[in-house]
A and B are shown apart, each in its own frame.
Chain A
Amino acid sequence: MLILSCPNCGERNVSEFRFGGEFNPRPPNPDACGDAELAAYLYLRDNRLGVEKAWWYHQAGCGLWFLAERHTKTQEVLKTNVWQPDEAGEGADGD
């Protein structure tokens, strides 16, 4: 079982967490979005075979939503962090 490190609690079994999907920030001004842009936000995903930046929630723990950069094939977790206001809109680098 994958071990994921909660920024609050440290390393825990992945079964303690709920996966929240690819990091997909809400458009800053959604009212101004055209149909294509809105549909892209709502539905399109990078779905990377590589390092994916995604949301996780420490459900059986502290209740923190955080971001993890995880390789979707090797499962290596490169980084976990609490959301920051300047959180990059693009997914992490990687292939």
Chain B
Amino acid sequence: MSFKLIRQALNGNGLLPRMWRSHPVRDRYDVVIVGGGAHGLACAYYLAAQHAITDVAVIEKGYIGSGGSGRNTAIIRSNYLTPEGVRFYDESVRLYEQMATELDFNVMFSQRGHLTLAHTDGAVRTMRRRAEVNKLQGVVSELIPPDEIERLCPGIDVSDHPRYPILAALYHPPGGIVRHDAVVWGYAHQADRRGVHIHQQTALTGVDVRGDSVVGVETTGGYIKTGTVLNATAGWGSTIADMAGVRLPLTTFPLQACVTEPLKPFLDVVIVSGSLHVYVSQSDRGELVMGASVDPYTSYSMDSSLAFMEGIAGHMLELFPFLSRVRVLRQWAGLCDMTPDYSPIMGFTPVRGFLVDVGWGTYGFKASPICGRTMAELIAGERTPDLIRPFRLSRFEEFDLVGEKGAASVGH
């Protein structure tokens, strides 16, 4: 039992430390991070913890974690298709593994195993390709047959009855889920402790660019003089960049998810089916957390759709026919900035001092720690770390796109 809890039990609430404080918005900061999600807060934390850059403001227009960080289905994995993708996400998984102790906050990273189902011979080929790429980079990942899938996931329909029978799966034991809000809170807490200012309910309204350099930002909390602005938003990547006069290769689509009522745990792995556009895990509270692919058309609205619910329900029952009497409790949507090559955009832009960590599509959350660390490194060192060089914005103009698109249909 943790000492903190015993102290809390004895003392009551009076002595409880605040996780993060509120401050007046100062008129200058060395670094302004736009977006108080896991990415922005992780970057703030690493700036303070590893580079002694503490004069940092995180500007969040809602509450921390109100965007994609609090809306995703919290799946963590590193079994990507390209060597650069695997390298990057594997480092992220490593950081997740040590996050609870590093942040002194239990983010409940549950490495329960991640299964990507293949329903076609083409998918089997892609899964094997991923498994081989993964293995060569030391990531545990293998193609497993239906009986093995059934052993890991009792009740899943591996018969030939479904419209798209399960032929095999890519099994990735280190994959799993994490308590997404806890990641946000943990970073916020540790960044706050080191002097970072977190300004909630404070929106960016303009970026002050003189010549080709950033000199400050306008916010609803007033003007801030700064030479470094990081756009770490999802869903507003284009809008924020537009304030700095930067046009990005982004298209914003809603991504929906839903949960069921709590059930006694029966599903101990994460199941993803690219062909059926569904991914599901069962939380430690017993709810099934389910998501699908992005909506069929662009939108900045976070309204839910019935079509999503109908679609995901049908596909869930294809995989798990025994769930027909289980009830959905809640559905919601988040916004995803999709890029042409299904890979993020990290680093410098043509405007000096205006940096981006955007275009995270449907897979941004799982990269939060490594993004925070590498972007902090980039800000502190004013050069692009090798790990994120493939994701630089200039790759589009150089026609040097990332090859992750090949695995796009199974992007979770």
Residues of chain A at the chain B interface (Cβ within 8 Å): 1, 14-15, 18-19, 21-22, 35-36, 39-40, 42-49, 52, 54, 72-75
Contacts and interface: CB of A to CB of B under 8 A. Distances in A.
B6 interface: no
Contact of B297 (A19, A35, A73): A19
Contact of A49 (B239, B247, B340): B239
B307 A74 contact: no
Contacts, number: 67
A62 B305 CA distance: 25
A72 B299 CA distance: 5
19 contacts: A1-B307, A18-B296, A19-B296, A19-B297, A36-B397, A39-B396, A39-B399, A43-B396, A44-B249, A45-B247, A45-B251, A46-B238, A47-B237, A47-B251, A47-B337, A49-B238, A49-B252, A72-B301, A73-B300
Contacts of A52: 298
Nearest to A40: B247
B250 A49 contact: no
A45 B300 contact: no
A47 B305 contact: no
A45 B397 contact: no
A21 B239 contact: no
Contacts of B305: 1
Contacts of B247: 40, 44-46
B397 A22 contact: no
B354 interface: no
A54 B252 CA distance: 13
B397 A35 contact: yes
B306 interface: yes
B301 A21 contact: no
B396 to A, nearest CB: 5
Contact of A72 (B296, B298, B398): B298
B307 A15 contact: yes
Given A35-B397, A72-B252, A19 B298 contact: yes
A72 B298 CA distance: 7
B140 interface: no
Given A44-B248, A47-B252, A72 B397 contact: no
A3 B139 CA distance: 47
Nearest to A72: B300
B236 interface: yes
Interface centre among B248, B251, B299, B301 (most CB of A within 10 A): B299
A48 B250 CA distance: 10
Nearest to B341: A43
Interface centre among A1, A19, A21, A54 (most CB of B within 10 A): A19
A45 B250 contact: yes
Nearest to A73: B300
B188 to A, nearest CB: 26
B301 A47 contact: no
A43 to B, nearest CB: 4
Interface in B385-408: 396-399
Interface centre among A15, A44, A72 (most CB of B within 10 A): A44
A50 B58 CA distance: 26
Contacts of A1: 305-307
Interface in B367-399: 396-399
B131 to A, nearest CB: 31
Q: Which 8 A-B pairs have the closest CB atoms?
A: A19-B297, A43-B249, A47-B238, A39-B397, A73-B300, A43-B396, A44-B247, A72-B300
A49 B337 CA distance: 12
A75 B248 CA distance: 23
Contacts of A21: 251, 298
Interface in B157-185: none
Contacts of B237: 47
Nearest to B253: A19
Nearest to A36: B397
Contacts of A40: 247
Nearest to B298: A72
Contacts of B340: 42-43
Nearest to B237: A47
Contacts of B297: 14, 19, 54
Given A40-B247, A46-B238, A75-B301, 10 more contacts: A1-B305, A18-B296, A19-B297, A22-B298, A42-B396, A43-B249, A45-B250, A72-B300, A72-B301, A74-B301
A44 B250 CA distance: 7
Interface string B244-268: 0001111110000000000000000
Interface centre among B252, B300, B305 (most CB of A within 10 A): B300
A52 B297 CA distance: 12
A19 to B, nearest CB: 4
